[in-house]
Amino acid sequence: MIIGALGMLGHDLQKVFPGAELFDVVGDNLLDITDENMVMETVEAVQPDVVINAAAYTDVDGCEDNAGLSLKVNGEALANIAKACHKMGAKLVHYSTDYIFDGKKQEYVESDIPNPINAYGVSKLLGEKNIQDNMDDYCIIRTSWLFGKNGKNFIETMLALSEKMDTVNVVNDQFGKPTYAADLARKTKELIDLDPGIYHITNEGVCSWYEFASAAIPNTVPCSSEEFIRKAKRPKYSILVNTKTNPMRHWKDALTDYLKEKKT
């Protein structure tokens, strides 16, 4: 059972799990994850072995203006899903974020203590806690800088701006690890068979947002975070270190495939 099946990651999960029951937070096969009764009734009706939750409120700056909504969707709703999975004996796979960390150290392993510095991170951390408080058979996948073919993402934005503007200013003092949605979806299948717990899953290779953009467009100009003010504070470093599974390929290789696919 895939929740958030129409999102960027959800589309790639559909390819990896072709027999899954599909639900989304919009459209015809609607599942309101904030409605505890609806979640319980739906999971009971489907009787899945595995529930994959790819639904989230991911607008980081928007979460600052709508902190209550982000807590409801990214945090409180996970208690609903976890309780339903626990009752039905289903494993829960859920995606979290590098933004649960404050960026005061360069790298983070799965056991590091979270300390979010924006509303989005706070809401995602609440989601993690609600899963852990309500069930044992879970796989929380923390990932970062997600890009893919079927949704709005940083590279898509850069490509659009590059065509409209002579130069595109991109911050060069925030560092992380880009992740290709198609690679993450394939890795998810492997993780389902591993022990329950928290996993850091990204493509390999560390870069700044400027370096990431420069790999896709020719007219980037570096700038500082102070020069490019955003509503939500971002961690300077949010590099997730995978200590539990085999690493995925380098983000540059994944980006090359993504750009090729966009042209087809």
Note whether 9 and 54 are within 8 A (CB): yes
**In this structure, are strands 146-147 and 179-180 parallel, antiparallel, or unpaired?**
parallel
What pLDDT was estimated at residue 27? 77
Note whether 178 and 255 are within 8 A (CB): yes
What pLDDT was estimated at residue 106? 94
What pLDDT was estimated at residue 25? 84
Global pTM? 0.97
Which is nearest to 110 in space by CA: 142, 147, 150? 142
Residues 18 and 151: their CA atoms lie apart, in Å, by 20
What pLDDT was estimated at residue 76? 98
**What CATH number should be reported for the domain whose range is 2-148+178-205+238-247?**
3.40.50.720
Please report, as a single letter, which amino acid is at residue 110: E
What pLDDT was estimated at residue 79? 98
Residue 95 known to be catalytic: no
Note whether 5 and 24 are within 8 A (CB): yes
What pLDDT was estimated at residue 211? 98
Hey, CA dihedral for 56, 57, 63, 67, is it positive or negative?
negative
Which tokens sit at 17?
Answer: 């799990």
In the predicted model, residues of the chain with pLDDT beneath 70 are none
Q: Among residues 120, 199, 237, 258, which one is catalytic?
A: 120
What pLDDT was estimated at residue 258? 97
